[in-house]
């Protein structure tokens, strides 16, 4: 709730910097989108309107009206995509965007054009004609099973931490173990993890409730090993920390407040550098590690997509297709032609 409130305030501030008709767009898509999605749209649209105000309309962003969208053609949008690759922002800072980021920016512009076209407020949806940048497939970066064991061992022992890090380890050890175990054992997103409250966890069924993209709630299940890590942390949280009774956040910072996304990112980096210094391991890579092991164990891409919360199974197929070879090899090895008996 706290993060949602902050994002709403950020969105309202951004709306004052965008053309007035954007407020109608955000209001119209509110029932089917999360606050975070609308905020990301706003950031992308601000970049878009900065470009068109300087290169097409030659007037201030706030002076752009809805009818001006009719003056934008397909070539203008293709020039905008090319512009995103390398440009200077309003503060003179150099900005670059790879294919994924440019695709996201185009998706935001497409969503706006589609909304107003469907409302019969513009004459054509030219954005729908613009192709997304071709994205080069990359190998999934993930931890191997032995590295998973090592990162959990390090969070428990803290043997290879610096002297400064060890100073805090006695207070954060069980919390860090629980966070890493949740990432690796459930594939939870970082935004979902920091938003967890104590009452969201149910040890009777080894499950917890999370709010997914789009604002929908779902239940994720965890193993006894993850449950053990959570119970150890909760025992410390409830009995050792001087936490205000009204603070319901599951994971706390050193200051006994809800842990931030940045703090969790730093936590993961701290331990990952010890066990796998050549890999850039992030919370999302721990999620990929879980997805990989789940796919190897089940061979069912639909189960993986459902548990990871992918709305489109093709997204899951794209990321985990490379593992199919291992699964096919193992499946063939199970076919016995002649039984020794």
Taking only the tens place, the pLDDT of each residue in 35-74 is 888 999 999 999 999 999 999 999 999 999 999 999 999 9
Find tokens 């994205």 and name the residue: 135
- Stated pTM of the model: 0.60
Taking only the tens place, the pLDDT of each residue in 154-172 is 999 988 888 889 888 888 9
Among 9, 61, 69, residue whose Cα is nearest residue 38: 9
* pLDDT in the model for residue 333: 62
* pLDDT in the model for residue 309: 81
Torsion of CA 240, 246, 250, 253, to 10 degrees: -70
Query: For 47-70, b where at least 16 C-beta lie within 10 A, e where not — what string?
Result: bbbbbbbeebbeeebeebebebbe
Report, as an integer, the average pLDDT of 231-253: 86
Beta strands in 200-318 (DSSP E): 201-202, 207-211, 217-221
* pLDDT above 80: residue 12: yes
Report, as an integer, the average pLDDT of 93-112: 90
d(CA 219, CA 204): 13
User: Could you say which DSSP state residue 258 is in?
Assistant: B
* pLDDT in the model for residue 253: 92
* pLDDT above 90: residue 136: no
Residues of the chain above pLDDT 70, percent: 89
* pLDDT above 90: residue 90: no
Report, as an integer, the average pLDDT of 253-276: 93
* pLDDT above 90: residue 303: no
Report, as an integer, the average pLDDT of 220-248: 88
Highest averaged pLDDT of the listed ranges 110-114, 206-210, 313-317:
110-114
DSSP H or E run through 319: helix 313-320
Highest averaged pLDDT of the listed ranges 72-81, 283-292, 314-323:
72-81
CA-atom Rg of the chain in angstroms: 24
User: Could you say which DSSP state residue 195 is in?
Assistant: T
d(CA 141, CA 120): 45
* pLDDT in the model for residue 294: 86
What are the structural domains of the chain? 2-129 (1.10.150.130), 145-329 (1.10.443.10)
* pLDDT in the model for residue 340: 60
Find tokens 């990989």 and name the residue: 292
Q: Which residue has the higher pLDDT, 122 or 212?
A: 122
* pLDDT above 70: residue 288: yes
> What average pLDDT does the chain have?
88
* pLDDT above 90: residue 2: no
* pLDDT above 90: residue 135: no
Find tokens 């193993």 and name the residue: 223
d(CA 149, CA 153): 6
* pLDDT in the model for residue 36: 86
* pLDDT above 80: residue 129: yes
Q: Which residue has the higher pLDDT, 244 or 43?
A: 43
User: Could you tell me the strand order of the sheet in which 207-211 lies?
Assistant: 201-202, 207-211, 217-221
Q: Residue 98's pLDDT band (boundaries 50, 70, 90)?
A: confident
Q: Residue 189's pLDDT band (boundaries 50, 70, 90)?
A: very high
Residue pair 7/26 in contact by the 8 Å Cβ criterion: no
* pLDDT in the model for residue 277: 87
* pLDDT above 70: residue 194: yes
Q: Which residue has the higher pLDDT, 238 or 147?
A: 147
């Amino acid at each position: 709730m706290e993060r949602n409130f902050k994002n709403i305030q950020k969105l309202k501030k951004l709306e004052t910097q965008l053309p007035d008709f954007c407020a109608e767009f955000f209001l119209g898509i509110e029932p089917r989108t999360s606050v975070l999605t609308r905020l990301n749209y706003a950031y992308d649209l601000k970049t878009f309107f900065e470009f068109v105000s300087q290169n097409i309309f030659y007037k201030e962003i706030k002076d752009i009206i809805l009818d001006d969208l009719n003056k934008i053609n397909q070539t203008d949008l293709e020039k905008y995509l090319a512009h995103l690759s390398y440009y200077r922002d309003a503060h003179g800072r150099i900005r670059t965007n790879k294919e994924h980021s440019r695709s996201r920016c185009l998706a935001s512009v497409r969503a706006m054009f589609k909304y107003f076209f469907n409302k019969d407020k513009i004459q054509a949806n030219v954005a729908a004609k613009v192709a997304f940048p071709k994205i080069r497939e990359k190998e999934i970066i993930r931890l191997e099973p032995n590295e998973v064991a090592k990162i959990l061992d390090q969070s428990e022992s803290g043997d290879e931490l610096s002297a400064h890090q060890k100073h805090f380890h006695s207070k954060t050890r069980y919390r860090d173990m629980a966070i890493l175990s949740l990432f690796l054992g459930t594939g939870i997103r970082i935004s979902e993890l920091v938003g967890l409250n104590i009452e969201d966890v149910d040890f009777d069924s080894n499950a917890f409730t999370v709010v997914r993209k789009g604002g929908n709630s779902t239940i994720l299940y965890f193993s006894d090993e993850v449950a053990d890590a959570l119970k150890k942390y909760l025992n410390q949280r409830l009995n050792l920390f001087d936490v205000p009774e009204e603070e319901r956040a599951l994971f706390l910072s050193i200051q006994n407040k809800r842990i931030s996304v940045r703090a969790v990112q730093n936590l993961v980096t701290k331990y990952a550098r010890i066990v796998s210094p050549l890999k850039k391991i992030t919370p999302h890579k721990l999620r990929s590690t879980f997805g990989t092991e789940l796919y190897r164990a089940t061979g069912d891409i639909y189960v993986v997509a459902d548990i990871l919360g992918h709305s489109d199974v093709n997204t899951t197929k794209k990321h985990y297709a490379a593992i199919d070879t291992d699964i096919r090899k193992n499946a063939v090895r199970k076919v016995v032609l002649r039984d020794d008996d």
